[in-house]
Amino acid sequence: MGVLRAAMPHLGWLSLLVSGCVQLTPSGAHVAVYQAPLDAVRAKRSLPSGCALVAAKPRVTMPELDLEGQKDPFRAERNEAGAAGANALLILKRQVLGRRDAECPASSPITDCPPSFGAWYQVVVESYACTPEALAYLAALPPSTERDYSLIKTQ
């Protein structure tokens, strides 16, 4: 009982660390999220001229489960971007390692494959301040265009 009592003050911190739940702020809610291939030529992965780069994060490696297994995997980045005055995120990603689980084919959603992490990606997150016209242009693009953007639905 003494060990449990001694650990009680630390359980609150532990639950915060384990939950890792980031709430979307009002400024983060106004940040649209787009993705494009990291290895595409710059002209095919840069946002329109009405968008100015605010910040770029260093390249990181992320599993498919983190990218596709959550409703809004870039909540924290949206919050940071909104606080910095940005209204668009561009997620640049490139697969560096395919799925290795024979029971989880690429045709299956990664959420159907526990406990697999799926494929691994290199990811760069860039935040932009875009004019309303530039955002309207991006929002109107069909999924397959000469540029390789796609809007990530986030709510």
DSSP 64-130: HHHHHSSS-TTHHHHHHHHHTT--EEEEEEEEEE----TTS-TTS-GGGSTT----EEEEEEEEEEE
Q: Are 38 and 45 in contact (CB under 8 A)?
A: yes
Over pLDDT 70: what percentage of the chain? 79
The pLDDT of residue 20: 54
The pLDDT of residue 126: 96
pLDDT bucket at 123, cuts 50 / 70 / 90: very high
68 against 26, higher pLDDT: 26
pLDDT bucket at 150, cuts 50 / 70 / 90: low
pLDDT bucket at 61, cuts 50 / 70 / 90: very high
Q: What global pTM score does this model have?
A: 0.77
The pLDDT of residue 71: 84
Average pLDDT over residues 84-90: 96
How far is residue 140's CA from residue 127's CA, in Å, rounded to a whole number?
Answer: 20
Give the closest residue to 117 by CA, choosing from 101, 96, 93, 102.
Answer: 101
Q: Are 35 and 90 in contact (CB under 8 A)?
A: yes
Average pLDDT over residues 23-38: 92
Average pLDDT over residues 105-112: 87
The pLDDT of residue 114: 78
Q: How far is CA 59 from CA 93, 96, 105, 115, 136, in A?
A: 9, 13, 27, 25, 28
